Amino acid sequence: MDLKSYFKTAQGTGVLATADSHGKVNAAIYSRPHVFDDGTVAFLMRQKLSHHNLQSNPYASFLFHESGPGYRGLRLHLKKIKEETDSPLIAKMTRGNLTTEEDMAKGPKYLVHFTVENILPLIGSGEQRRM
C-alpha cells in the first residue's frame, strides 16, 4: 500500500497508542503522519505522555478512521527508529494554526520517526502486510 498517497488525500481522525516500559497504555489524538519516500512515517510530538512512553518502549499503534459513513481506515503497527529536535524539518512540517509565539509557549517539539511493521484495515484482521 502506498501510504504517502493515502495520507495525502485521506481525511479523518487518528489515534496514536503507546505504552510505557510497564505496559501502562496511553492513547492520544494525532494528525495524519508524515510519510517519507522510504516508507517510514513520522509524527510531530510535544513533551507529553506519548513522547515520554516512546523513550522506554519504541512500539506504537496508529489507528486512522476516515471521515464519512462506515468504518474505513487503517491501523499501523509502528516501531520508533529515531527522533529529531532542532531540525529544520520540524519547522517545515508544522501544520498548526498557532502563531510562532503560541507555538513556542507550548514547549519543545520532536519529530519522531517510525518504521511501519504492519498495516491492517480499520475493521477485522485483514491480510497482514509486513513492511
Contact 111, 46 (CB under 8 A): no
Picking from 84, 34, 93, 22, the residue whose alpha carbon sits closest to that of residue 62 is: 34
- pLDDT at residue 130 greater than cutoff 50: no
CA 72 to CA 74: how far, in whole Å? 7
Full set of structural domains in the chain with CATH = 3-123 (2.30.110.10)
- pLDDT at residue 45 greater than cutoff 90: yes
C-alpha cell, 7: 495520507
Per-residue pLDDT, 127? 61
